Structure 1
Amino acid sequence: MDAVRRTLAKLLYEKSYIEGEITLTSGKKSDYYFDCKQTALHPEGAWCIGTLFLDLLRDVDVQGVGGMTLGADPLVSSVTVLSHLAGRPLPGFIVRKEAKGHGTGRYLEGLGNFAPGMKVAMLEDVVTTGGTLIKACERVRDAGLEIVAVCTILDREEGGRENLARAGYDLLPVFTRAELLSAAKA
C-alpha cells in the first residue's frame, strides 16, 4: 500500500493542491485549497483513492459506502467498482444537499441497494471543521443506516476530527496535510 499512497500523494499534489488565499466552505480563510475532484476524476487517481479507502475499511464490518454530493460522488463510485472486483461488493449511496423536490423527495440516492440497519462508511474528500460531514451523517442515520466508519482523503487538522468525535464518529484519514506534503515530496 505504500506505493499506492506515494502515487496518490504525488497526483494529489500535482492536480489538487493549490497554494494561495482561499475562502473555504466553512467560511474560514486558508493559505491553501485542496480540489480533490481533479484527482478523483483522473483514472489513476480514482483507482488509488478506491484502493486506499478499501484498505482503510479492510477490518471494518461495513456493508456499503456513501457520502455528500458532489465531492463524494467519484469516491463512492471508485470504491463500489473496486469492491466488486475485490470480491467484497459494497453498494453506494449519495447524500443530496437538499431533499429531492419531486419523485421520492429523499435526501439519499441509492437506498434501493440497502436495508434498514445496514452498516455503512461515509466517504469525504476533505475534512476541515466536519460540519458538512456531520450533517450528511445525520441524514444517513435518519434514513435508517448505521455509520461504522468515516473516511477522508485529507484531514486538514483544523478541528474536524474533534468535531466528528464529539458527534460520535472516528475519522480515518488517508492523509493529514503534513503527511500529504511529505509523501508527495518523497
Structure 2
Amino acid sequence: MKVRLAQLLLEKSYIEGEVVLTSGKKSDYYFDCKQTALHPEGAYLLGNLFLDMLPENISGVGGMTLGADPLVTAVSVVSQVRGRPLPGFIVRKSPKGHGTNQYLEGMANFAPGDRVVLLEDVVTTGGTLLKVIDRVTDAGLVVAGVHCVLDREEGGADTLAARGFVLRAIFTRRDLLAAGSASHEAG
C-alpha cells in the first residue's frame, strides 16, 4: 500500500519548481496532497495507512480544513469498513459567525476528554498544527497524536516536540522519492 501511495503522490501531488509555502518559506517543490486524497484509490490507501498508524485508545480523528478534510473522511470511512469505527471532526480557520459559532465541526460525535489524533497533509514549520492543537484542546478533547502524509523535515517535528507531541509521518520527502523510484525501477 505504501509503495502504491508513493506512486500516486508523485504522479498527482508532487510538483518540482520554486514556490512560496504557507509558512512564507521558499521551496524547490510543492506538495498538493489533496490531489491524491481526493482520488478514490488515494483516499483508500491514505485511510488504511493512517488507520494502521493510530493508537488503539482513541475516539476519533480530525484536522484543519481544507487539507485534512479528505484525510479525516478517508480514515473515518475505512475505520467503519474495518470494524473500528472512528468519527471525525474538522477544525475551521475561523468560527462560522452564526449558529454555535464554534471552531470544530462534528463535535456531536465526541465527549469532553475524548482522545483524538490530528491528521495533516503536509507539515513544514508546525505552526498551523499548534493552532489546531490549541483549538482542539479548548474544545475539551485530548490530542493523543499528530500524523501527517508528508513531513518536509523543515522544523515541524521539532516545533511539535517542544509542545510534547511526536509527529508521525507516512513519508518524508526523501522516503517518498525513494519509494517512488524503487517502484518505478521495479515496474
Q: State TM-score, norm by structure 2.
A: 0.96
Poorly superposed stretches of 4+, deviation over 4 Å: none
> 3-state DSSP class of the match of 1:19?
strand
Q: Given the alignment, which residue of 111, 120, 137 partners 1:115?
A: 111
1:54 aligns with 2:15: no
Distance 2:142 2:56 in 1: 13
Partner of 1:82: 78
Does residue 70 of the first structure (1) align with residue 69 of the second (2)?
no
The CA distance in 2 between the partners of 1:147 and 1:84, in whole Å, is 21
Amino acid at match of 2:107: L
Instruction: Return the offset for 1:60.
Output: 3.9
Q: Deviations over 1:42-66 (max 9, x none)?
A: 0000000000001111x44211000
Three-state SS of the structure 1 residue aligned to 2:168 is: strand
Q: Which amino acid aligns with 1:114?
A: F
Percentage of identical aligned residues: 66
Aligned to 1:92: 88
SS in 2 for 1:174: strand
Report matched runs for 1:12-51 at 5 Å. Answer: 12-51=9-48
Q: CA RMSD in A?
A: 0.6
> Quick one: which of 142, 158, 168 aligns to 2:164?
168
Partner of 1:140: 136
Structure 2 CA distance for aligned equivalents of residues 97 and 60 of structure 1:
29
1:61 and 1:175 map into 2 onto residues whose CA distance is: 24
Within 1, Cα distance between the matches of 2:56 and 2:23?
Answer: 30
Equivalent residue for 1:104, pick from 100, 123, 127: 100
Deviation for aligned residue 1:113:
0.3
Segments of 5+ residues of structure 1 without an aligned counterpart are: none
Residue 80 of structure 1 aligns with an amino acid whose one-letter code is S
User: How many Å apart are 1:7 and its aligned residue?
Assistant: 0.3
Which secondary structure does the structure 1 equivalent of 2:85 belong to?
coil
- Measured in 2, the distance between the counterparts of 1:104 and 1:41 equals 29
Give the TM-score of the pair, scaled to structure 1. Answer: 0.97
Q: How many residue pairs align between the two structures?
A: 182
- Distance in 2, matches of 1:142 and 1:184, equals 40
Output the amino acid matched with 2:156: G
Structure 2 segments unaligned to the other structure (5+ residues): 183-187
